[in-house]
Amino acid sequence: MNASDKVIGRLSHYRLLLSKLESQGKTFVFSRELAIMADGTSAQVRRDLMVTGYEGNPKQGYNVSDLLDELNKFFNFSRGVNAVLIGTGSLGRALLSYFMPKKSRYNIMAAFDSELSKTGRIIAGTRCCHINELEFELKSLGSVVAILTLPAEAAQTMATRLTNCGIKGILNFAPVRLRVPDDVYVENIDVTMSLEKVAFFANQKSEDREKEV
């Protein structure tokens, strides 16, 4: 089974929407309703859901709970997402406190930093270890993904260290493209780039508006 990047992203989004719908007591939902919430089209929703194998009902749509179960199974997060976070600066700490109340699903099992002042203590419920202990700790943690909130200069070195430990997934906030082996997946979140995009299109839309007048 091979689903693209984009499809997986949308499926994750549908999962979130379905869990909201379930908690609201909704039992069935149509592709068109999901499409509106996800800002897509109904055809796209149906097509995306094909990859999970779940089939809806032509009259009632999708059973919310069943589809949610199916997606949870599809994402195979029986014990949720287990992660480590590297770099407990301002962004790292914001993420730690953000995920803390969601621990049952998104569990940051340990954080690491190179500054002694930040290590050896608990930040937002998470043990913060010295980066020297990375390899040792990872051995006992089993299969996890890594969240990189490091200065750009340190990111590549750390990525290499992580892949040497067998890490297969990295969520990278540093504005550099990491070079990793083919069997490692990297997702970049580049806030500055996103902001520039927004500014560019905002400019453009303002100009368009002016031209029309």
Ligand X SMILES: NC(=O)c1ccc[n+]([C@@H]2O[C@H](COP(=O)([O-])OP(=O)(O)OC[C@H]3O[C@@H](n4cnc5c(N)ncnc54)[C@H](O)[C@@H]3O)[C@@H](O)[C@H]2O)c1
Partner DNA sequence: AGTTAGCTGTTACAAATTTCACAGCGTTAA
Partner DNA sequence: TTAACGCTGTGAAATTTGTAACAGCTAACT
Nearer residue to ligand X within complex by CB, 67 or 85? 85
Q: Footprint of ligand X on residues 166-185 (CB under 6 A)?
A: 173-175
Nearer residue to DNA within complex by CB, 31 or 119? 31
Near DNA by CB under 7 A: residue from 20, 36, 43, 193: 43
- Partner whose binding site includes residue 114, from DNA, ligand X, a copy of itself, none (CB under 5 to 8 Å by kind): ligand X
Total residues in contact with ligand X, by rule CB under 6 A: 25
14 binds ligand X (CB under 6 A): no
Nearer residue to a copy of itself within complex by CB, 24 or 59? 24
Applying CB under 7 A, the span of 29-37, 87-95, 133-141, 168-176 interacting with DNA comes to 29-37
81 binds a copy of itself (CB under 8 A): yes
DSSP per-residue string spanning the chain: ----HHHHHHHHHHHHHHHHHHHTT--EE-HHHHHHHHTS-HHHHHHHHHTTT---BTTTBEEHHHHHHHHHHHHT-TT-EEEEEE--SHHHHHHHHHHGGGTTTEEEEEEEES-GGGSSEEETTEEEEEGGGHHHHHHHH-S-EEEE-S-HHHHHHHHHHHHHTT--EEEE-SSS-----TT-EEEE--HHHHHHHHHHHHHHHHHHHHHH-
198 binds a copy of itself (CB under 8 A): yes
